Structure 1
């Protein structure tokens, strides 16, 4: 059993249901072994934890999103833990950020927790995320969990399991924070219609337990019921169809605000009353505005594929943008490192919607993102301003395009890195290397290509090269792609199918 192949950065992910295309590799069998590795990993962290285990007092919390394989995988985890002499709290349906808070709330005081989720991936996937009291697991932790020697139960006891509701105390804690942040206003959403779209994931609780509790009208909220087949749309704030679904709901219901979560609620996005989408660069800009009002001149860490206009916007507010490597743990750890170096940094955020605030344990929490905006709404209303007003000075590119190239080679990473190195050394008039880039290669464009940029980078977890292009003049993206095509044609194992499809579309064919 090669569990190491299930590592997905700082998470574990795999196929939980066999399909015509994929064979299941994350079943109850694998999960039971992972539970053994988790106990071995946790015991190795320090002697006190080992003593707690030997006393039969080690406590693990387990939660899951709405995926249809969640209950059976949870049962497998519980069975393995109690056999190892570990006590379990079964939280049932939960969210990823709530699972971390289960290590902080005194009423639970879990030593470590596990969230069963595969974020926005299709229904046949599932995965595991781990937390202890210091935060989320790192890549090195996952590697240890998946490769640990599985010790037998050495405390001679059988663990016990209990069930508990985590989302209610989590929501109460969130409501209290929002009220405090809104200056003590207990109903900061009074007279506001707020639509919540949970995408049939785990975020449906937010409508009743947070928005309504704060005085908001949740009429028109949609897809709140958990359904692991995700029948309505992909629960992903970075997905065009998902964002169109919440936008339509806001406009059709004449709502003041729309909120959409991913499956496990560690990401979110918003839609304004006028239909403006607050995701990707726009969400980063709104949160940067909020953070810089509270902490002037702070640094803000983002991943690399952010608009050049975002850098200008953040600097205009007195802040500094630090573009870093994609991956939510990467941007969070960079922010933590900067603070340790004496560089004040209060926000780490990816264009995908992962956002973590220093004041909130640097936890990527989609609900807390919304909470920060709720705290601001009464003040904006009093001033006669809207969320859109916060980013009115953020310039928008005229054209945005992403192209993904499949790398059809056994050593796909070596191939991708060679392509990136080769284009890095290319000398093309109108393409200038952006030296403030830490991932792949980024060029600023000028001349016949218009003002803009493009970035070529490796996908974090898939055999893909990802090309992202943003240009400020209409019709120029096509020119950039047409002039890049001969370069990619030099690599027969780089699949150009998507590039050809995009060019046909841009040419009106």
Structure 2
């Protein structure tokens, strides 16, 4: 890779870095780096994506982060010099930026979303789209490789404003109306929205209310890039407690929460039950399997064993795959190409992508699919939570992350995982689970209760991640005690968090 410092900004299938200097952090995603990345993206579109149109049309949007406008201006400067028609969406969402390439009224060749999802305010990043879909990790490497190559100018560029969110919201409203056959399918329903001061506040006034919903009690709808109320992350316990409180306080029928850029979502039912992580996967599985009973659903690997049973009881099949939303989505696309019908790819983090929606991880579309259920459920006197009441919940679920102190952390981590296989083989009550594609998954029984654990490498950090679940209260502790005998010989693992559990 040509540019080492830029290469460090690659985060899976997008770019992420520190955009604002703080006392603890020095910015590494400044105007200088952004301009090089813009240059690299133009070369990628021309050389690899074969975008022939002149002038090229590129849409740009940002979430509520305070550094978003400055990053946009750096992109605009490069694109203007290259003769690009720039479509400025202003405050936008990640899914909407992909849809800018699909809506005929906008017809962008590419879209760029300026976001760092749920990370702290001083972070930012860029996600890239073409008409074919989201960028891959390999595309990020090419962008960095092409960053220092020149771009032939096609004359002076052109900048125009677009009201992308209006197109996007209208499209969602239309889809929900078509899905229910009703003009006001949410009439008489009280739904509260928590946008976490991110980019999703539009959903209350532009989607829920036109469909007839009452939205009083909705909170944190105004964009604020310092995120003063809570982390905008549906996978965060504080954030989920916030929307739960709003639902119960307002006696609402449903609560909705988005992350900053609205590619993830979760809901809370009228009783305050969280429908995120395994519960959200179960609910969306219920939706797709109602249409196609024998379909396959791809998830990431650390899902509860009870989820597999739930999906099988509906007639479907769960395919556990490597963590990372692009990995899960790409496996679903691959399975479909091979002839295995796979309508849904979803991670426990809340990234969910439907085949019918371009396999785009779109939190607002996920919510739209759930909203389509409400009129019929209402008629039957049922609630959303009733659809997953057969999903058994574990008595205990814990996660421990071990920092790897060795510089060759990937090699060291995989060595630990390989050695754990031998330890498992000679431990009575530990049985390796064959249906697993990431790290090592082990079912526990005998004196260790009834459950499982999974040890895997973190996607982007020098960490080993251990997840332990059990149906018997107190048995997780026994599993941790047994595993401590294995981990204690590894001096390049920081075991403080495990020691704290066992103290």
Report the 3-state secondary structure (helix = DSSP H, G, I; strand = E; otherwise coil) of the residue aligned with 1:13.
Answer: strand
Partner residue of 1:298 out of 295, 299, 304: 295
Aligned to 1:311: 308
1:456 aligns with 2:459: no
Give matches, 1:463-474, under 5 Å.
Answer: 463-474=462-473
Q: 1:299, 1:321 within 8 Å by CA — same for their partners in 2?
A: yes
2:474 is equivalent to residue 475 of structure 1: yes
1:153 positional shift = 3.9
Comparing 149-158 with 421-430, greater Cα deviation is found at 149-158
Question: 1:35: how far off?
Answer: 0.2
Q: How does 1:327-406 map to 2 (within 5 A)?
A: 327-406=324-403
- Residues 96-111 of structure 1 correspond to what in structure 2 (within 5 A)? 96-111=94-109
How far residue 309 of structure 1 moved from its aligned partner, in angstroms, is 0.2
Quick one: distance in 2 between partners of 1:425 and 1:391?
37
Query: Matches of residues 164-313 of structure 1 in structure 2 within 5 Å?
Result: 164-182=162-180, 184-313=181-310
Does the CA contact (< 8 Å) of 1:404 and 1:465 recur in 2?
A: yes
Q: Corresponding residue for 2:78?
A: 80
Count residues with an aligned counterpart: 498
Q: Please give the alpha-carbon distance, in whole angstroms, between the structure 2 residues aligned to 1:155 and 1:80.
A: 10
Residue 495 of structure 1 aligns to a residue whose secondary structure is coil
Deviation per residue, 1:340-361 (Å, 9 max, x gap) = 0000010000000000000000
The question of whether the paired residues in 1 share the 8 Å contact of 2:37 and 2:147 is answered with: no
Whether contact under 8 Å (2:39, 2:151) holds in the other structure is no
Contact 1:61 1:110 (8 Å CA) reproduced: yes
Question: In structure 1, what is the Cα distance between the partners aligned to 2:160 and 2:437?
Answer: 46
Offset from partner CA, 1:131-167 (integer Å, 9 cap, x none): 0001000111111011115443424401111111111
Preserved contact between residue 85 and residue 153 of structure 1 (Cα < 8 Å):
no
Let me know the Cα RMSD of the aligned residues: 1.1
Could you list the per-position Cα deviations for residues 52-85 of structure 1 after superposition, in whole angstroms to 9, with x for gaps in the alignment? 2xx3x10100011111110100110111111122
1:18 alignment partner, SS class: coil
Residue of structure 2 in register with 1:501 after alignment:
500
Q: In structure 2, do the counterparts of structure 1 residues 171 and 238 end up closer, same or farther at CA, with 3 Å as the change threshold?
A: same
* CA displacement 1:234-273 (0-9 Å, x = unmatched): 1111111111010011001111000000000000000000
- Rounded Cα–Cα distance in structure 1 between residues aligned with 2:481 and 2:145: 46
Q: Residue 197 of structure 2 contacts residue 225 of structure 2 at CA under 8 Å; is this kept in 1?
A: yes
Aligned match of 1:139: 137
Report what 2:415 is aligned to.
418
Deviations 1:395-449 (A, max 9, x none): 1100000111111121111111111111122121111101110011110000111
**Structure 1 counterpart SS, 2:128:** strand
Is the Cα–Cα contact under 8 Å of residues 84 and 152 in structure 1 kept in the other structure?
Answer: no
Aligned equivalents of 2:379 and 2:279: distance in 1?
23
Q: Determine which of 142, 146, 149 is the counterpart of 1:148.
A: 146
Q: Distance in 1 between matches of 2:106 and 2:144?
A: 26
> Per the alignment, in what secondary structure is the counterpart of residue 8 of structure 2?
helix
The answer to whether the aligner puts 1:11 opposite 2:14 as a matched pair is yes
Counterparts of 1:212 and 1:246, CA distance in 2? 19
Q: 2:344 is paired with a residue of what secondary structure?
A: strand
Of the structure 1 ranges 383-392 and 270-279, higher mean CA displacement relative to structure 2 is found in 383-392
Work out whether residues 113 and 130 of structure 1, in 8 Å CA contact, stay in contact via their aligned partners in 2.
yes
CA distance in 1, matches of 2:411, 2:231: 32
Q: TM-score scaled by structure 2?
A: 0.97
1:36 aligned onto 2:33: no
Secondary structure (helix, strand or coil) at the match of 1:345 reads coil
Q: Are 2:42 and 2:151, in contact at CA under 8 Å, matched by a contact in 1? A: no
- Which residue of structure 2 aligns with residue 486 of structure 1? 485
Q: CA deviation at 1:493?
A: 1.5
Q: Secondary structure at the match of 1:342?
A: coil
Q: Which whole-Å CA distance do the structure 1 matches of 2:259 and 2:393 have between them?
A: 25
Query: Is residue 118–residue 232 contact of structure 2 (8 Å, CA) maintained in 1?
Result: yes
Verify the 8 A CA contact 1:66 1:93 in the aligned structure 2.
Answer: yes
What is the rounded CA distance, in whole Å, between the counterparts of 1:226 and 1:46 in structure 2?
34
- SS, match of residue 284 in structure 1: helix
Partner Cα separation in structure 1 for residue 236 and residue 218 of structure 2 = 19
Q: 1:289 to 1:46 in 2, by over 3 A?
A: closer
Shift of 1:124: 1.1
Q: CA deviation at 1:171?
A: 0.2
Q: State whether structure 2 residue 112 is matched by structure 1 residue 114.
A: yes
Distance 1:19 1:408 in 2: 26
Gaps of 5+ in 1: 505-509
Match of 2:436 in 1: 437
